[in-house]
């Protein structure tokens, strides 16, 4: 997963969390539902990297260059 992406797709989420692609889509859908409830626009199949990092427990933010 590269650090320059603003939005993550199911493949990125799957790789980071070591889960299947279908499960990654479920997580993306859940996060996007939360964002929609807060009034944000979302894109199906992608999630904001910033929101993903905020919500995933244990995420270690690698220093960006």
Task: Examine residue 63 and state whether it is found in any structural domain, yes or no.
Answer: no
Q: What angle do CA 43, 23, 64 make, to 5 degrees?
A: 60
Neighbours of 59 (CB within 10 A): 12
> Is the per-residue pLDDT at 63 higher than 60?
no
Supply the pLDDT for residue 10.
97
Would residue 42 count as lying in a domain? yes
For residue 39, the Cα-to-chain-centroid distance in whole angstroms is: 18
* Segments forming the whole domain that contains residue 16: 7-55
Quick one: average pLDDT of 6-23?
Answer: 96
Tokens of 27: 């997580």
**Distance, C-alpha 56 to centroid of its chain:** 9
Query: How many helices (H) and strands (E) would you count in the chain?
Result: 3, 2
Q: How many domains does the chain have?
A: 1
Q: What local confidence, expressed as pLDDT, does residue 31 receive? A: 97
User: What pTM does this model have?
Assistant: 0.82
Residues above pLDDT 90, as percent of the chain: 75
Does the residue 18 lie in any domain? yes
28-39 per-position pLDDT tens digit: 999 999 999 999
């Amino acid at each position: 997963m590269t650090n320059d992406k603003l939005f993550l797709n199911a493949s990125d989420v799957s790789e980071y969390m070591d889960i299947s692609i279908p499960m990654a889509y479920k997580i993306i859908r859940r996060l996007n539902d939360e964002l929609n409830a807060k009034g944000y626009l979302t894109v199906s199949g992608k999630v904001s990297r910033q929101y993903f990092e905020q919500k995933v427990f244990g995420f270690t933010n690698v220093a960006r260059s």
